[in-house]
Amino acid sequence: MPGVEFNCQATMIGSMPQKDPAAACRQVLHYLQDIPAWPQLTRRSFLENLYVQFSQGFPGVVVEDDKIFVDRAQDSQKALEQLYSAYLENNIYQFPVTPDHAAGLYAFLNYTDLTVQAVKGQIVGPVTWGMTVTDNDRRSIAYDDVLSDACARLLKLKASWMEKELQRISKKVIIFVDEPYMTSFGSSFLALGREKVVGLLEEVLSGISGLKGVHCCGNTDWSLLLGLGIDILSFDAYNYAESLTLYPSEVKKFIAKGGVIAWGIVPNEEAVLARESPGSLLDRLEEAIAPFTRQGTGIPFRQLIAQGLLTPSCGLDRLSADAAGQALELLSQLSEKVRSKYR
Protein backbone atom coordinates (compact mmCIF):
# COMPACT_ATOMS: atom_id res chain seq x y z
CA MET A 1 0.00 0.00 0.00
CA PRO A 2 2.59 2.57 -1.12
CA GLY A 3 2.18 6.31 -1.03
CA VAL A 4 0.28 6.56 2.26
CA GLU A 5 0.74 9.90 4.02
CA PHE A 6 0.70 9.87 7.81
CA ASN A 7 1.92 13.46 8.19
CA CYS A 8 3.94 12.57 11.28
CA GLN A 9 1.13 11.01 13.25
CA ALA A 10 2.22 9.16 16.37
CA THR A 11 2.43 5.47 17.18
CA MET A 12 4.76 3.37 19.33
CA ILE A 13 7.17 0.45 19.09
CA GLY A 14 5.31 -1.88 21.44
CA SER A 15 6.63 -2.68 24.90
CA MET A 16 5.17 -1.00 27.99
CA PRO A 17 6.10 -1.24 31.70
CA GLN A 18 2.71 -2.17 33.16
CA LYS A 19 1.77 -5.64 34.34
CA ASP A 20 -1.96 -4.92 34.08
CA PRO A 21 -2.99 -5.18 30.40
CA ALA A 22 -6.10 -3.02 30.89
CA ALA A 23 -4.05 -0.22 32.45
CA ALA A 24 -1.50 -0.41 29.64
CA CYS A 25 -4.20 -0.23 26.99
CA ARG A 26 -5.84 2.74 28.67
CA GLN A 27 -2.58 4.65 28.71
CA VAL A 28 -1.81 3.84 25.06
CA LEU A 29 -5.29 4.76 23.86
CA HIS A 30 -5.31 7.99 25.87
CA TYR A 31 -2.28 9.36 24.04
CA LEU A 32 -2.24 7.52 20.71
CA GLN A 33 -5.73 8.15 19.41
CA ASP A 34 -4.92 7.98 15.69
CA ILE A 35 -2.63 4.94 15.45
CA PRO A 36 -2.59 2.97 18.71
CA ALA A 37 -0.54 -0.20 19.10
CA TRP A 38 -1.11 -3.18 21.35
CA PRO A 39 1.17 -3.18 24.40
CA GLN A 40 3.76 -5.89 24.97
CA LEU A 41 4.03 -6.41 28.74
CA THR A 42 7.53 -7.79 29.21
CA ARG A 43 7.44 -7.30 33.00
CA ARG A 44 4.22 -9.23 33.38
CA SER A 45 5.63 -12.64 32.55
CA PHE A 46 8.65 -14.25 30.92
CA LEU A 47 6.18 -15.60 28.37
CA GLU A 48 5.84 -12.01 27.08
CA ASN A 49 9.57 -11.68 26.54
CA LEU A 50 10.15 -10.74 22.88
CA TYR A 51 11.89 -14.04 22.17
CA VAL A 52 9.31 -16.21 23.94
CA GLN A 53 6.14 -14.41 22.91
CA PHE A 54 6.12 -15.79 19.36
CA SER A 55 7.78 -19.16 20.03
CA GLN A 56 4.68 -21.35 20.40
CA GLY A 57 4.64 -24.07 17.78
CA PHE A 58 8.35 -24.01 17.01
CA PRO A 59 9.70 -27.58 16.73
CA GLY A 60 11.57 -28.64 19.87
CA VAL A 61 11.23 -25.31 21.67
CA VAL A 62 11.47 -25.44 25.46
CA VAL A 63 10.57 -22.59 27.81
CA GLU A 64 11.48 -23.16 31.46
CA ASP A 65 13.10 -21.30 34.36
CA ASP A 66 13.14 -18.05 32.42
CA LYS A 67 15.08 -19.68 29.60
CA ILE A 68 14.16 -20.56 26.05
CA PHE A 69 16.05 -23.03 23.87
CA VAL A 70 15.53 -25.67 21.21
CA ASP A 71 16.00 -29.20 22.52
CA ARG A 72 17.64 -31.26 19.79
CA ALA A 73 17.16 -34.40 21.87
CA GLN A 74 13.47 -34.25 21.05
CA ASP A 75 12.13 -35.92 17.95
CA SER A 76 10.92 -32.79 16.17
CA GLN A 77 10.13 -34.36 12.82
CA LYS A 78 6.38 -34.49 13.43
CA ALA A 79 6.35 -30.88 14.67
CA LEU A 80 8.27 -29.80 11.57
CA GLU A 81 5.79 -31.63 9.35
CA GLN A 82 2.87 -29.92 11.11
CA LEU A 83 4.51 -26.52 10.68
CA TYR A 84 5.21 -27.04 6.98
CA SER A 85 1.70 -28.39 6.43
CA ALA A 86 0.20 -25.28 8.06
CA TYR A 87 2.54 -23.11 5.99
CA LEU A 88 1.60 -24.75 2.69
CA GLU A 89 -2.10 -24.51 3.52
CA ASN A 90 -1.66 -20.96 4.88
CA ASN A 91 -3.43 -22.08 8.04
CA ILE A 92 -2.77 -18.95 10.10
CA TYR A 93 -4.93 -20.19 12.99
CA GLN A 94 -2.85 -23.27 13.81
CA PHE A 95 -0.17 -21.38 15.75
CA PRO A 96 -1.81 -18.32 17.35
CA VAL A 97 -0.21 -16.29 20.11
CA THR A 98 -2.22 -17.27 23.18
CA PRO A 99 -3.43 -14.89 25.93
CA ASP A 100 -0.79 -15.99 28.46
CA HIS A 101 1.89 -14.94 25.93
CA ALA A 102 0.29 -11.62 24.92
CA ALA A 103 -2.20 -10.34 27.48
CA GLY A 104 -1.85 -6.81 26.10
CA LEU A 105 -2.85 -7.94 22.62
CA TYR A 106 -5.99 -9.67 23.85
CA ALA A 107 -6.96 -6.71 26.04
CA PHE A 108 -6.43 -4.41 23.05
CA LEU A 109 -8.64 -6.59 20.85
CA ASN A 110 -11.59 -5.82 23.13
CA TYR A 111 -11.64 -2.24 21.80
CA THR A 112 -13.68 -2.94 18.69
CA ASP A 113 -15.48 0.43 18.76
CA LEU A 114 -12.43 2.65 18.26
CA THR A 115 -12.40 5.37 15.63
CA VAL A 116 -8.79 5.34 14.46
CA GLN A 117 -6.83 5.83 11.27
CA ALA A 118 -4.98 2.54 11.74
CA VAL A 119 -3.80 0.11 14.41
CA LYS A 120 -0.31 -1.25 14.81
CA GLY A 121 1.06 -4.62 15.79
CA GLN A 122 4.58 -5.98 16.07
CA ILE A 123 6.36 -9.28 15.86
CA VAL A 124 9.93 -10.36 16.48
CA GLY A 125 12.02 -10.72 13.35
CA PRO A 126 13.54 -14.02 12.17
CA VAL A 127 17.13 -12.79 12.43
CA THR A 128 16.73 -11.59 16.02
CA TRP A 129 14.80 -14.70 17.09
CA GLY A 130 17.12 -17.06 15.28
CA MET A 131 20.27 -15.48 16.70
CA THR A 132 18.97 -15.23 20.26
CA VAL A 133 17.40 -18.67 20.62
CA THR A 134 19.98 -21.44 20.79
CA ASP A 135 20.02 -25.22 20.89
CA ASN A 136 21.41 -27.46 23.66
CA ASP A 137 24.95 -26.65 22.54
CA ARG A 138 24.27 -22.90 22.70
CA ARG A 139 24.46 -22.60 18.93
CA SER A 140 22.05 -20.05 17.47
CA ILE A 141 19.35 -21.75 15.44
CA ALA A 142 19.85 -19.12 12.72
CA TYR A 143 22.93 -21.07 11.65
CA ASP A 144 20.87 -24.20 11.00
CA ASP A 145 19.29 -24.03 7.55
CA VAL A 146 16.30 -26.20 8.47
CA LEU A 147 15.53 -24.45 11.75
CA SER A 148 16.08 -20.93 10.44
CA ASP A 149 13.73 -21.68 7.55
CA ALA A 150 11.17 -23.06 10.02
CA CYS A 151 11.53 -19.92 12.12
CA ALA A 152 10.76 -17.60 9.20
CA ARG A 153 7.77 -19.68 8.12
CA LEU A 154 6.31 -19.82 11.62
CA LEU A 155 6.72 -16.07 12.08
CA LYS A 156 5.08 -15.49 8.70
CA LEU A 157 2.00 -17.42 9.89
CA LYS A 158 1.95 -15.52 13.18
CA ALA A 159 2.25 -12.16 11.41
CA SER A 160 -0.69 -13.07 9.17
CA TRP A 161 -2.70 -14.23 12.18
CA MET A 162 -2.00 -11.02 14.11
CA GLU A 163 -2.91 -8.84 11.16
CA LYS A 164 -6.20 -10.69 10.77
CA GLU A 165 -7.00 -10.27 14.47
CA LEU A 166 -6.21 -6.55 14.44
CA GLN A 167 -8.51 -6.05 11.47
CA ARG A 168 -11.35 -6.55 13.94
CA ILE A 169 -10.51 -3.04 15.18
CA SER A 170 -9.47 -1.31 11.95
CA LYS A 171 -9.30 -2.25 8.29
CA LYS A 172 -5.92 -0.54 8.10
CA VAL A 173 -3.29 -2.48 10.02
CA ILE A 174 0.44 -1.82 10.32
CA ILE A 175 2.75 -4.65 11.34
CA PHE A 176 6.36 -3.98 12.31
CA VAL A 177 8.94 -6.76 12.22
CA ASP A 178 11.29 -5.91 15.10
CA GLU A 179 14.95 -6.65 14.38
CA PRO A 180 17.19 -5.30 17.16
CA TYR A 181 19.84 -7.91 16.30
CA MET A 182 20.38 -6.23 12.92
CA THR A 183 22.64 -3.76 14.74
CA SER A 184 25.22 -6.60 14.62
CA PHE A 185 24.88 -7.22 10.88
CA GLY A 186 28.28 -7.31 9.23
CA SER A 187 30.10 -8.06 12.49
CA SER A 188 31.42 -11.29 13.99
CA PHE A 189 28.33 -11.36 16.22
CA LEU A 190 26.09 -12.01 13.20
CA ALA A 191 27.79 -14.30 10.71
CA LEU A 192 24.85 -14.50 8.33
CA GLY A 193 25.23 -13.40 4.73
CA ARG A 194 23.18 -10.65 3.16
CA GLU A 195 21.24 -13.04 0.94
CA LYS A 196 20.30 -15.21 3.92
CA VAL A 197 19.13 -12.23 5.99
CA VAL A 198 17.09 -10.80 3.12
CA GLY A 199 15.49 -14.18 2.44
CA LEU A 200 14.45 -14.67 6.07
CA LEU A 201 12.99 -11.19 6.35
CA GLU A 202 11.17 -11.29 3.03
CA GLU A 203 9.57 -14.60 4.04
CA VAL A 204 8.03 -13.08 7.17
CA LEU A 205 7.07 -9.84 5.41
CA SER A 206 5.25 -11.82 2.71
CA GLY A 207 2.70 -12.84 5.32
CA ILE A 208 1.59 -9.23 5.83
CA SER A 209 -0.97 -8.05 3.30
CA GLY A 210 -1.29 -4.46 4.53
CA LEU A 211 1.29 -1.95 5.65
CA LYS A 212 4.53 -3.59 6.74
CA GLY A 213 7.59 -2.15 8.39
CA VAL A 214 10.91 -3.12 9.93
CA HIS A 215 12.19 -1.61 13.17
CA CYS A 216 15.84 -1.53 14.21
CA CYS A 217 16.84 0.46 17.28
CA GLY A 218 20.51 1.08 16.49
CA ASN A 219 22.98 1.50 13.68
CA THR A 220 22.87 -1.05 10.86
CA ASP A 221 23.28 -1.43 7.11
CA TRP A 222 20.20 0.60 6.22
CA SER A 223 20.61 -0.19 2.51
CA LEU A 224 19.62 -3.79 3.25
CA LEU A 225 16.45 -2.84 5.12
CA LEU A 226 15.51 -0.06 2.68
CA GLY A 227 15.80 -2.57 -0.16
CA LEU A 228 13.22 -4.91 1.34
CA GLY A 229 9.59 -4.92 0.26
CA ILE A 230 8.52 -2.69 3.13
CA ASP A 231 6.31 0.37 3.43
CA ILE A 232 7.86 1.74 6.64
CA LEU A 233 11.40 1.95 8.00
CA SER A 234 11.44 2.53 11.76
CA PHE A 235 14.63 3.62 13.51
CA ASP A 236 16.00 5.35 16.61
CA ALA A 237 16.30 8.88 15.28
CA TYR A 238 17.04 10.31 18.73
CA ASN A 239 20.36 8.51 19.10
CA TYR A 240 21.23 7.35 15.58
CA ALA A 241 19.87 9.96 13.15
CA GLU A 242 23.27 10.41 11.49
CA SER A 243 23.51 6.71 10.65
CA LEU A 244 20.70 6.95 8.12
CA THR A 245 22.28 9.97 6.41
CA LEU A 246 25.03 7.65 5.14
CA TYR A 247 22.50 6.15 2.70
CA PRO A 248 21.09 9.19 0.87
CA SER A 249 20.40 7.52 -2.49
CA GLU A 250 18.67 4.53 -0.85
CA VAL A 251 16.50 6.85 1.25
CA LYS A 252 15.63 8.90 -1.83
CA LYS A 253 14.55 5.78 -3.75
CA PHE A 254 12.55 4.56 -0.77
CA ILE A 255 10.70 7.86 -0.42
CA ALA A 256 10.14 8.09 -4.18
CA LYS A 257 8.38 4.70 -4.04
CA GLY A 258 6.04 6.05 -1.37
CA GLY A 259 7.95 4.68 1.61
CA VAL A 260 7.42 6.05 5.11
CA ILE A 261 10.11 6.75 7.70
CA ALA A 262 9.12 6.31 11.34
CA TRP A 263 11.33 8.75 13.23
CA GLY A 264 11.98 7.39 16.73
CA ILE A 265 12.55 10.85 18.12
CA VAL A 266 11.26 10.60 21.71
CA PRO A 267 13.89 9.11 24.05
CA ASN A 268 13.11 6.07 26.17
CA GLU A 269 15.52 6.80 29.01
CA GLU A 270 13.93 8.44 32.04
CA ALA A 271 16.69 10.97 32.83
CA VAL A 272 16.97 12.04 29.19
CA LEU A 273 13.21 12.20 28.79
CA ALA A 274 12.94 14.63 31.71
CA ARG A 275 15.11 17.16 29.85
CA GLU A 276 13.01 17.24 26.67
CA SER A 277 9.95 19.21 25.58
CA PRO A 278 7.83 19.24 22.41
CA GLY A 279 9.84 22.25 21.25
CA SER A 280 13.24 20.68 21.82
CA LEU A 281 12.14 17.47 20.14
CA LEU A 282 10.80 19.40 17.15
CA ASP A 283 14.22 21.02 16.77
CA ARG A 284 15.86 17.62 16.96
CA LEU A 285 13.45 16.14 14.40
CA GLU A 286 14.05 18.97 11.95
CA GLU A 287 17.82 18.50 12.35
CA ALA A 288 17.43 14.77 11.66
CA ILE A 289 15.38 15.41 8.51
CA ALA A 290 17.42 18.32 7.13
CA PRO A 291 20.34 16.32 5.60
CA PHE A 292 17.94 14.54 3.24
CA THR A 293 16.72 17.82 1.79
CA ARG A 294 20.14 19.06 0.73
CA GLN A 295 21.91 18.88 -2.60
CA GLY A 296 22.66 15.31 -3.57
CA THR A 297 19.49 13.93 -2.04
CA GLY A 298 17.08 16.81 -2.50
CA ILE A 299 13.90 15.33 -1.01
CA PRO A 300 11.41 18.12 -0.28
CA PHE A 301 11.15 18.71 3.48
CA ARG A 302 7.37 18.63 3.41
CA GLN A 303 7.42 15.30 1.58
CA LEU A 304 9.47 13.78 4.39
CA ILE A 305 6.97 15.20 6.88
CA ALA A 306 4.04 13.85 4.86
CA GLN A 307 5.65 10.42 4.53
CA GLY A 308 6.62 10.31 8.17
CA LEU A 309 5.52 8.73 11.43
CA LEU A 310 6.71 9.64 14.91
CA THR A 311 7.52 7.07 17.59
CA PRO A 312 9.60 6.66 20.74
CA SER A 313 13.19 5.66 20.02
CA CYS A 314 12.38 2.09 21.07
CA GLY A 315 10.18 0.26 23.57
CA LEU A 316 9.09 1.88 26.85
CA ASP A 317 9.18 -1.17 29.12
CA ARG A 318 12.27 -0.01 31.00
CA LEU A 319 10.54 3.14 32.18
CA SER A 320 8.15 3.57 35.09
CA ALA A 321 4.48 3.71 34.16
CA ASP A 322 4.46 7.46 34.84
CA ALA A 323 7.52 8.03 32.66
CA ALA A 324 5.99 5.91 29.88
CA GLY A 325 2.96 8.16 30.04
CA GLN A 326 5.25 11.18 29.87
CA ALA A 327 6.95 9.76 26.77
CA LEU A 328 3.63 9.14 25.04
CA GLU A 329 2.36 12.58 26.02
CA LEU A 330 5.47 14.22 24.58
CA LEU A 331 5.07 12.11 21.45
CA SER A 332 1.44 13.16 21.03
CA GLN A 333 2.25 16.84 21.63
CA LEU A 334 5.16 16.72 19.20
CA SER A 335 3.00 15.14 16.51
CA GLU A 336 0.40 17.87 16.95
CA LYS A 337 3.10 20.54 16.84
CA VAL A 338 4.61 19.17 13.63
CA ARG A 339 1.26 18.85 11.88
CA SER A 340 0.25 22.35 12.95
CA LYS A 341 3.50 23.87 11.70
CA TYR A 342 3.63 22.02 8.37
CA ARG A 343 -0.08 21.67 7.59
Walk across the sheet containing 308-312 and list its strands: 9-10, 308-312, 260-266, 232-235, 211-216, 173-178, 119-124
In a domain, 4, yes or no: no
Residue 339: closest CA among 3, 8, 31, 80: 8
Q: What is the pLDDT along the chain (343 residues), one digit of tens a residue?
A: 446 789 999 999 999 999 999 999 999 999 999 999 999 999 999 999 999 999 999 999 999 989 999 998 888 899 999 999 999 999 999 999 999 999 999 999 999 889 999 999 999 999 999 999 999 889 999 999 999 999 999 999 999 999 999 999 999 999 999 999 998 887 767 878 899 999 999 999 999 999 999 999 989 999 999 999 999 999 999 999 999 999 999 999 999 999 999 999 999 999 999 999 999 999 999 999 999 998 667 899 999 999 999 999 999 999 999 999 999 999 999 999 999 998 7
- pLDDT value, residue 2: 46
Residue 119 lies inside a defined structural domain of this protein: yes
Does 2 fall in a domain? no
Would the CA dihedral through 236, 102, 132, 152 be positive or negative? negative
Q: For the domain that residue 83 is a member of, what is the CATH number?
A: 3.20.20.210
Would you state the pLDDT for residue 191? 78
Number of structural domains the chain divides into: 1
Beta-strand relationship, 134-135 and 211-216? unpaired
239 domain-assigned: yes
Alpha-carbon span 67 to 280, nearest angstrom: 41
Determine the structural domain holding residue 85 and report its residue range: 9-341
Within a domain: residue 232? yes
Whether residue 1 is contained in a domain is answered as no
Asked whether residue 168 is domain-assigned, the answer is: yes
Whether 15 contacts 123, CB under 8 Å: no
DSSP letter at 25 equals H
Is 295 part of a structural domain of the chain? yes
